[in-house]
Each structure stands twice: as C-alpha cells, then as structure tokens.
Chains A and B, each alone.
Chain A
Amino acid sequence: AQSVTQLGSHVSVSEGALVLLRCNYSSSVPPYLFWYVQYPNQGLQLLLKYTSAATLVKGINGFEAEFKKSETSFHLTKPSAHMSDAAEYFCAVSVEGSGNTGKLIFGQGTTLQVKP
C-alpha cells in the first residue's frame, strides 16, 4: 500500500539557518510528489510538486525539494529560514491509478518553528 512518512513531527531552527524537512514515500509506480504548507487556521497551499521532470524542484518562497528514487525520498529544504516560514508542512503522493486528479495521500505533517 502507498504511504508517506514525514520524519519528525516538530522541527525547530534558528532564523537564517538551513531548513530540512524529511519525507519518504512508498509507491509501486512513478509517483507525483508534493509539498504543501499550512499557516495557522488556514487551508493548505502548494509549495512545489514533482512530476517526473527534473529531480530538483524549485517552489515558492525559496523552498526546493529533491526527488531521490533510490532512497524513495523527497526532502524539502530552504537555505535560510525566515520567521514567516513557521507553519505546518505536508508531504503528499498521488494515489496510484488516479491519473491527474487531486487524490493524494498525505504525510502526518511537520511543524516548523523558527526561533529569532
């Protein structure tokens, strides 16, 4: 069965430090992979997505993620954290056989705290 695992439910970094949020997935077919961000009391918005083109994907707000098939990983990074990056981040994989629909399997989320 497909799954998404986000390592670490809470990550704390200092402002200006590297952000690394980990995501591993399982899928028997080449997946579409996504990172979404959720600010407090809001819905989710798409940060970036991987759809089998370049393995390094650049998203909004300076975030990027690298698809590593051998490691079944899709970790999210940002070189320098801003206070405004504090939010919950979700990794997701497209449901096998769902085509180009929005049927996604989400990880449990990682809360990013940015300290001044």
Chain B
Amino acid sequence: SQTIHQWPATLVQPVGSPLSLECTVEGTSNPNLYWYRQAAGRGLQLLFYSVGIGQISSEVPQNLSASRPQDRQFILSSKKLLLSDSGFYLCAWSVGASGGKLFFGSGTQLSVL
C-alpha cells in the first residue's frame, strides 16, 4: 500500500535561518507531488506542484523553493525564513488521472520567531 512520510512534525526556526522539509512517498511510481501551506485561520494554498523529477511548478511568488531530486522525494526549502513563512505545511501526492484525489502527509508545523 502507498504511504507518505513527512518530517519533521514540528519545527521552530529563527527569522533568517534556512529551511528544509522533506517528503517521501512509498508504494507508487511517478506520482504527482504537491506542497500546500495552511496559514493560521486560512485555507490551504498550493505552493508547488511536480509531475516528475526536476519538474517544479511554482504557484505563488514567495520566499520558498522546491526540488524533486528523486521520483518519490519532494523537498521544500528556503535560504532565509521570514515571519510570514510560519504555517502548517502539507505534502501530498496523486497519481495519473486521479480526478483530483490527493493523499496528504501528516504535516509540519513551522513557527518562525
């Protein structure tokens, strides 16, 4: 069966520090991968989308970047965190013609202080 792993679960970082969040998927090949962010009191916003290794689509301009070094690995990064980067980050995957059905990881709560 397919599983998605996302870590760490919580992270507290000072402003200006770097960030690396990792997500891996098991049990499926060539998934579509996504990073969503859920800011406090707001809905989810799609940040990045990837259909394959090295293929990244950025949905909103921001201080973050994403990379997909392997088929089932998706990394969210920042060189210098801002206060506004705080939020709950969710990795998700889907396959092929899934009709929009997403499978989410358990999320990372990022607090930038």
Contacts and interface: CB of A to CB of B under 8 A. Distances in A.
Contacts of A109: 42-43
A34 interface: yes
A101 B32 contact: yes
Contacts of B94: 101-102
Contact of B43 (A41, A46, A90): A90
A102 B43 contact: no
A104 B32 CA distance: 13
B92 interface: yes
B46 interface: yes
B36 to A, nearest CB: 8
Contacts of A43: 6, 90, 92, 104-107
Contacts of A94: 100
A42 B49 contact: no
A34 B104 contact: no
Interface residues of A, number: 28
A51 B41 CA distance: 28
B44 interface: yes
Q: How large is the interface on B (under 10, 10 to 19, 20 to 34, 35 or more residues)?
A: 20 to 34
B100 A32 contact: yes
B43 A34 contact: no
Contacts of A103: 34, 46, 49, 59, 100
Contact of A102 (B6, B32, B109): B32
B104 A100 contact: no
Contact of A42 (B43, B97, B107): B107
Interface of B: 6, 9, 32, 34, 36, 41-46, 49, 51, 59, 90, 92-94, 96-102, 104-107, 109
Interface of A: 4, 6, 9, 32, 34, 36, 41-46, 49, 51, 90, 92, 94, 99-109
Nearest 10 pairs between A and B by C-beta? A43-B104, A102-B94, A100-B97, A106-B44, A108-B43, A106-B43, A102-B102, A44-B104, A94-B100, A32-B100
